[in-house]
A = this chain, B = another copy of it.
């Protein structure tokens, strides 16, 4: 027996959610149909509004529905510290450690084999952001993977040429891990233990 077309399409569509396989998608679809159609319709509306309304902050490139995000506009934050991360999800992870400086969000990491060079991941925009600001230190919080390390090293070299201090978050987190998956305590430790990059 197969599910009817509308139910099957719903199950297939649910599988785009991270960590949701066929069986979980079936449970989700049938449970919504049986127990919470109102909630499911509200979810549909929230999805549409968010996908159509949320863009990227023109200053930090994080997810934002305003041209410049609340975090960039907040006057109480430390304008001397800039934290560079690989993606918007990392901003929320670093925020939970208590960091209260500014951010810049790259579009991932350098990946020459995939044709992703400095331009593609937004490094020229990062340099423009740094020129426009008044930072005393740039914390490179790319992931502690081979690609993340290479990206941090590349940026550190550019900044050294400009006489700026670049620091790297300490390896308190497992090698090969991803920032957004690590617990807040480990990441806080890692930020507290950051060191200048030796070139």
Contact = CB atoms under 8 A, between A and B. Distances in A.
Interface of A: 1, 3-7, 9-10, 12-14, 16-19, 24, 26-34, 36-37, 39-54, 63-66, 69-71, 87-89, 91-92, 95, 180
A17 B6 contact: no
B43 A7 contact: no
A71 B87 CA distance: 47
Nearest to A25: B17
Contacts of A1: 70-71, 91-92, 95
A41 B51 contact: yes
A24 to B, nearest CB: 7
Contacts of A63: 4, 7, 30, 33-34
Nearest to A74: B1
Given A1-B95, A13-B46, A33-B50, 16 more contacts: A3-B92, A4-B66, A6-B65, A7-B63, A12-B46, A14-B43, A16-B36, A16-B43, A17-B17, A17-B32, A17-B43, A18-B31, A26-B92, A32-B50, A33-B63, A44-B51
Contact of A4 (B14, B34, B65, B89): B65
Nearest to A41: B51
A2 B65 CA distance: 13
Given A4-B70, A30-B63, A180-B27, A50 B9 contact: yes
Contacts of A32: 16-17, 47, 50-51
B49 A9 contact: yes
B10 A46 contact: yes
B13 A43 contact: yes
B40 A6 contact: no
Given A41-B51, A49-B9, A51-B37, A30 B88 contact: yes
A40 to B, nearest CB: 5
